[in-house]
Amino acid sequence: MQGRGTRAQKEAVEMFNELLNPYNHADSRIAADAQSVHRVIAFSPVKWLGVSGGLGAVALVTFMVCLGFGTEAISFPQVATLLIQGVVAEAGAQDTTQSIILWQVRVPRVLLAFMVGGSLAAVGASLQALLRNPLADPYVIGISSGAALGAAVAILFGVGVSVFGLSVLPFCAFLGALVSLFIVYRIAVSYRSFSIHTLLLGGVVLNAIFSALILFLTSLADPYKASGMYAWLMGSLTGPDFQTVIVLAVYLVLGLAILVSQARSLNLLTLGEEAARSLGVEVEWVKRVIFAASALLTGSVVAFSGLIGFVGLIVPHAVRLVFGADHRLLLIASGIIGGTFLMIADTVARTLLSPTEIPVGVVTALVGGPIFLYLLVQQRRRIVS
């Protein structure tokens, strides 16, 4: 394995030197690609550990701070004490009011927010690399709506409330996300060259169609099921328990492990498919793997939290500007920051107008919508110029 890795690095270095050769008449774009190849080769484990550890510490502090906000305020020292007591004994074993609120209501919800935000951000970072455009996002291109439709169909036919509902429902949402991703990608590549604007337009159309189908299914369902379907349209993290968190964690660990395993391939794909092939990347296989993992993560998340948009758009873009485009770090950093961002957004959603709760999807849309428009305008200007 080490020999193959060394040989691959030598080939990449040779390509780098070849691209810099002035006799190849390389233009500025090729030179930039060559410099990107050089950055892919160089990787610092110390930087990876430092950034990941620092972001993890920030996420942990944010987690504890968010636990203190709510109708019943709990100070930071009290949160720390109750968490330690719950871990040393059994989670929720204390019968005090604050302990019950913390362990049975807030801890599962904040954990769910972190997992959902981290998953959406990691998926967004992967899709942006695969499609080579910072505007790609599971919500924008319609994957989330497809997942919500799959989950809605499952609930309408009783799968979501059956004995195996907690394990089957994310799979149904995964199928819906996979179908949506396949449709929108085929629309985008139906022209002679891949068009990101066609991709975005296809995503908008699919969002409208799938939302209409969800509303139609809602009109056929009884009021209890209908309320759950409405929650998907707005995004909500209300009422999870530890069983939900554990089941969701199984799906997310699998999906995130697949994405992280493809980090090197994603680095090379940002240079273009031809350059990636020349460096030994199985481009079509990597595409299928990334699409399947993205659908799995999005479907699992949507099955429990609904349509929460723009996390996968703004977080990877911000992380890329700060920490660079190496996906061995970008995926991890985006996951941690995405989870931290959604913990804060959910805390704002449930406390800003307390006791009334704002759907967390509304908060993320209000933050991410203007940023998306700005990125879209900037992308358009680059294309025109």
Closest CA to 275 of 57, 42, 108, 29: 29
Domains annotated for the chain, with CATH where assigned, are 1-42 (no CATH), 45-384 (1.10.3470.10)
Residues of the chain with pLDDT > 90, as a percent, come to: 26
pLDDT of residue 335: 95
Q: Which residue has the higher pLDDT, 240 or 38?
A: 240
pLDDT band at residue 265, thresholds of 50, 70 and 90? very high
Can you tell me the distance from the alpha carbon of 329 to that of 319, in angstroms, rounded to the nearest whole number?
10
Tell how far CA 304 is from the center of its chain.
Answer: 14
C-alpha to C-alpha distance for 176 and 11, rounded to whole angstroms: 41
| Average pLDDT value for the chain | 80
**Least-confidence region, from 163-167, 222-226, 260-264:** 163-167
Distance CA 331, CA 320 (A): 10
Return the pLDDT at 71: 84
Asked whether the predicted pLDDT for residue 94 surpasses 60, the reply is no
Q: What is the DSSP letter of 22?
A: G
Task: Check: CB of residue 60 under 8 Å from CB of residue 339.
Answer: no
pTM over 0.85: no
| Residue with more model confidence, 354 or 58 | 58
52 against 225, higher pLDDT: 52
Q: How far is CA 47 from CA 9, 264, 324, 337, in A?
A: 20, 17, 12, 16
- Quote the pLDDT of residue 382: 65
Rounded percentage of the chain residues whose pLDDT exceeds 70: 80
Q: For residue 5, is pLDDT > 60?
A: no
For the cut 50, the answer to whether the pLDDT of residue 272 exceeds it is: yes
Of the given ranges (12-26, 146-160, 193-207), which has the lowest mean pLDDT?
A: 12-26
Question: Residue 303: helix, strand or coil by DSSP?
Answer: helix
Whether 24 shows a pLDDT value over 60: the answer reads no
d(Cα 345, Cα 248) in Å, to the nearest integer?
A: 20
> How far is Cα 169 from Cα 154, in angstroms, rounded to an integer?
7
Could you tell me if 289 and 102 are in contact, meaning their C-beta atoms sit under 8 angstroms apart?
Answer: no
Whole-number Å distance between alpha carbons of 204 and 363: 20
Does residue 166 have a pLDDT over 70? no
Mean pLDDT of 15-21: 39
| Beta-carbon-side half-sphere exposure of residue 269 (alpha carbons within 13 Å) | 23
248 has a pLDDT exceeding 80: yes
Q: What is the pLDDT of residues 308-351, one digit of tens each?
A: 988 998 899 889 888 888 899 999 999 999 999 999 999 999 99
- State the number of CA atoms in the 13 A half-sphere of 245 facing the CB: 19
Could you give the CA distance from residue 174 to residue 105 in angstroms, rounded to a whole number?
Answer: 27
Whether the per-residue pLDDT at 198 is higher than 80: the answer is no
Quick one: pLDDT at residue 85? 84
Taking only the tens place, the pLDDT of each residue in 128-140 is: 888 887 778 888 8
Query: Rounded to whole angstroms, how far apart are CA atoms 28 and 32?
Result: 6
Burial per residue of 352-363, b for 16 or more beta-carbon CB atoms within 10 angstroms, e otherwise: eeeeeebbbbbb
In this predicted structure, what is the pLDDT of residue 279? 86
pLDDT at position 158 = 72
CA–CA distances in Å: residue 370 to residues 35, 93, 313: 32, 45, 12
Tell me what pLDDT residue 163 has: 45
pLDDT of amino acid 196? 63
9 vs 114, which has greater pLDDT? 114
Rounded CA separation 145/126 (Å)? 19
Mean pLDDT of 27-36: 42
pLDDT band at 186 (very low <50, low <70, confident <90, very high): confident
Q: Which of 128, 154, 123 is nearest to 308 (CA)?
A: 123
